């Protein structure tokens, strides 16, 4: 008992020491702090990369497989077994969109709640829930059962993927953030490629259960196991994690406060939640995210079906979904790396939206040219996935405070995910193979997003110049007091 008590006292003392280090770092003036050598910082970033990035990428890969496997299951007999054949495709559309109803409804409150929990425990539990929901879709025997499983999947996804930008912002500066965001989001595109390969392989397995049921099991069980592993692998906040030494923790906290001032511990600044809901820029971001997610949900739910409508067999269509996803992963990484180096997001976002829009124009203009239509899928998939990565990167460091991130990110995401609901209903089976309505609506949204992105980028440039004139240029990498005004603080500067 004495040893146990001593152990508890030791843990308490360690937490107090960590808190004192954090407070000390935040209160000391920038020029009085311990100098941070570049090689020290590089070693810390490499250590964080080795520990965080592989785990986040694999977690996101499996969660993306769990989200998108309904489109593959459609070609493996799910409508025949569960939806009574579904000749119009309406029941499948509702099953596909059910995920987004719970996702949108729970997004804001769940992500705000996540701010109060240890990140590794939160992400691990959400991942386990995703895996269970995906696996249980294999047990659906009717339409209501499938809907319940998809609603559960949406709930856990609301607490999972949107947490990633907030989590990464604890460890990486805005110059490093874009490429790391692209690295994990790229695995959504990789999941699309893997999903096609896995579905193709399972379709040729002679199992005792239907191929689509086996698909849900094969892609769901690993998610559960990896969620358990996340408890051990992922670090908590920089000021709390035992992964870092005292010196590394000091450097990590300093990095976390560059261009802003981070929260100390798992707290909420309630006034920043109200500031987020009054910020017009988040609603503009919601428009761009709406357009991107309308395209994304239609790609994830219908790309195999769209390619099959070109005249290919279902099995060949599964394989032909792989190249567009692989190209999308490459374009995403190259674009976000360039936007990191130049510290420009809006112009790149406008460009990739235009690429996606051109792809939809090609699908509309060439109704019978298979080569042109297949090339168009490369444009739409690459443009759409890059759009999502850039939007996630753009807003994460432009909100000023952690609490505004926790409220603002799910706010624009919840608006954007309404586009996912729309995209789930734009490609009914009777409109194959041209899908004029689906392609036209999605095309129009891409070019609307081009305009919004340019307006936002122009505003950010103008506002930065205005603050420079009024308050002078801030010291690079200095701590900015955002405790009262978040991103509206005089010394805060946006990434345009």
What's the pLDDT score for residue 335? 94
User: What single string gives the DSSP state of each residue in 183-225?
Assistant: HHHHHHHHHHHHHHHHHHHHHT---SS-HHHHHHHHHHHHHHH
Residue 3's Cβ-count burial label (10 Å; 0-12, 13-18, 19+) is exposed
Q: Two tokens at 468?
A: 């420079």
Rounded Cα–Cα distance for residues 454 and 379 (Å): 20
Closest CA to 70 of 257, 205, 195: 195
Residue 158 — pLDDT band, cuts 50, 70, 90?
very high
Average pLDDT over residues 130-136: 95
- Name the CATH superfamily, with its identifier, for domain 44-248+270-488: MFS general substrate transporter like domains (1.20.1250.20)
Q: How far apart are CA 406 and CA 276, in angstroms?
A: 9
- Given CA atoms 256, 260, 262, 268 in this order, what sign does their dihedral have? negative
Q: What is the mean pLDDT of residues 315-338?
A: 89
The whole-number pLDDT of residue 7 equals 44
SS3 474: coil
C-beta separation of 422 from 294 below 8 A = yes
Q: Which residue has the higher pLDDT, 397 or 359?
A: 359
Q: Is the dihedral of CA 472, 473, 478, 480 positive or negative?
A: positive
Higher-confidence position of 278 and 186? 278
Is residue 454 a contact partner of residue 236, using CB atoms and an 8 Å limit? no
CA R_g for the chain: 23
Q: What is the pLDDT of residue 27?
A: 41
For residue range 2-33, list pLDDT tens digits in order.
Answer: 444 444 444 444 444 444 444 444 444 444 44
Residue 172 confidence (pLDDT) above 70 = yes
Q: How confident is the model at residue 178 (pLDDT cuts 50, 70, 90)?
A: confident
First-last CA distance in the chain: 58
Q: Return the pLDDT at 68.
A: 80
| Inter-residue contact 244 to 15 (CB < 8 Å) | no
Give 435-444 pLDDT, tens digit per residue. 899 999 999 9
pLDDT at 71 over 90: no
Q: How far apart are CA 326 and CA 381, in angstroms?
A: 10
- The domain ranges of the chain are 44-248+270-488
Q: What pLDDT is stored for residue 344 in this prediction?
A: 94
């Amino acid at each position: 008992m004495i040893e146990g008590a001593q152990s508890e006292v030791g843990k308490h003392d360690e937490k107090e020491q960590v808190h004192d280090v954090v407070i000390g770092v935040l209160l000391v003036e920038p020029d009085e702090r311990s100098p941070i050598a570049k090689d020290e910082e590089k070693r810390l970033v490499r250590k964080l990369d080795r520990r965080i990035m592989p785990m986040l990428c694999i977690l996101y890969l499996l969660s993306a497989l769990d989200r998108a496997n309904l489109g593959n299951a459609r070609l493996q007999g799910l409508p025949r077994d569960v939806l009574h054949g579904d000749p119009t495709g309406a029941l499948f559309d509702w099953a596909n969109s059910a995920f987004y109803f719970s996702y949108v409804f729970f997004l804001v409150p769940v992500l705000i709640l996540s701010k109060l929990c240890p990140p590794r425990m939160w992400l691990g539990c959400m991942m386990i829930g995703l895996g269970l929901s995906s696996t249980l879709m294999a047990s659906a025997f009717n339409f209501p059962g499938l809907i319940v499983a998809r609603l559960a999947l949406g709930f856990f996804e609301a607490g999972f993927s949107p947490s990633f930008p907030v989590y990464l912002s604890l460890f990486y500066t805005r110059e490093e953030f874009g490429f790391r965001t692209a690295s994990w989001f790229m695995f959504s595109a990789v999941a699309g490629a893997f999903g096609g390969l896995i579905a193709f392989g399972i379709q040729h397995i002679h199992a005792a259960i239907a191929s689509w049921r086996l698909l849900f099991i094969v892609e769901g069980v690993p998610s559960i196991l990896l969620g358990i592993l996340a408890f051990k692998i992922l670090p908590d906040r920089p000021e709390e994690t035992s992964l870092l030494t005292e010196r590394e923790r000091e450097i990590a906290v300093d990095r976390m406060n560059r261009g802003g001032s981070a929260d100390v511990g798992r707290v909420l600044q309630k006034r920043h939640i109200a500031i987020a809901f009054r910020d017009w820029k988040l609603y503009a971001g919601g428009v761009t995210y709406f357009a991107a997610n309308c395209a994304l949900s239609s790609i994830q739910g219908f790309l195999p079906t769209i390619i099959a409508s070109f005249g290919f067999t279902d099995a060949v269509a599964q394989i032909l979904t792989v190249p567009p996803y692989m190209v999308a992963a490459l374009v995403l990484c190259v674009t976000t790396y360039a936007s990191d180096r130049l510290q420009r997001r809006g112009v790149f976002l406008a460009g990739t939206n235009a690429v996606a829009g051109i792809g939809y124009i090609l699908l509309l203009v060439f109704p019978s040219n298979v080569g042109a239509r297949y090339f168009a899928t490369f444009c739409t998939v690459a443009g759409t996935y890059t759009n999502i990565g850039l939007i996630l990167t753009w807003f994460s460091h432009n909100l000023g405070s952690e609490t505004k991130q926790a409220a603002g990110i799910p706010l624009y995401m919840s608006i954007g995910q309404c586009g996912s609901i729309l995209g789930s209903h734009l490609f009914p089976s009777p409109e194959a193979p041209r899908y004029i309505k689906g392609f036209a609506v999605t095309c129009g949204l891409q070019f609307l997003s081009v305009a919004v992105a340019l307006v936002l980028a122009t505003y950010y440039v103008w506002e930065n110049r205005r603050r420079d004139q009024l308050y002078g240029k801030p010291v690079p990498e200095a701590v900015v007091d955002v405790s009262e005004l978040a991103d509206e603080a005089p010394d805060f500067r946006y990434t345009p």
